[in-house]
Amino acid sequence: MAEKARTATIAELARDGDGWSPLRMHLDVRSFGVNAWTAAEAGAQLIGEHDEVPSGHEELYLITAGSATFTVEGEEIPATVGTVVFVPDPAATRAAVASEPGTTVFAVGAHPEDAYRPRAWEQNATVFPLFGEGDYNGAKRALTEALDRYEDREGLLYNLACAEARLGETEAAIGHLGESVALRPSFAELARDDEDLDAIKGDPRFDEIVGAEQTSTG
């Protein structure tokens, strides 16, 4: 018999620390991006300032609990329970700050014309706690398994290089860092000061990877 439905609650999925409820990943939604965030206190960032230029996504936000203030292209929008904020322009910067504890925002996004493909930020977000716990093998395993599932691989490759460097796997770390910087040159600057990469900073190939970007932008 075909599966009829999958269920979850935002509260049971909410992570400690950032309040993220990874609905898309948990339910394996494949036609649109869907997530929720819950703020532990007033003034907490619900939606970090960003645009959707890399994805081309339209985004819709719904306040399901509490209240928040959205800022879209500099315009403040107060939002209470039931308020929907739709941002059709991927280039528009948007952010949201909770006005009271327990505020929850439900977010949906997708490209208006193309078939939806998940974005790699969600997988990267799942491995950051593993880095914090020192579980670099776990982070490496999760990132390696995710490489073929996402179109925007550069962040996955960068974090994979960090995990490998922590594990002393120099060749793999250098290779994945090079791939990452080739896809997103701005990662070269990030790499120069990243303690996760300290183990490979003495390798001349590291200087070649990050130094080429330094020369081109100098």
Q: Is 212's pLDDT higher than 60?
A: no
Looking at the DSSP bridge assignments, the partners of residue 97 are 45, 69
| Mean pLDDT value of segment 39-65 | 95
- pLDDT tens digit sequence for 107-142: 999 999 887 878 888 888 889 999 999 999 999 999
Whole-number pLDDT of residue 213: 41
Query: Residue type for 132, please?
Result: G
pLDDT at 217: 35
pLDDT band with cut points at 50, 70 and 90 for residue 23: very high
pTM of full prediction above 0.85: no
Q: Is 86 helix (H, G, I), strand (E, B) or coil?
A: strand
pLDDT over 70 (residue 96): yes
Q: Would the pLDDT of 216 be above 70?
A: no
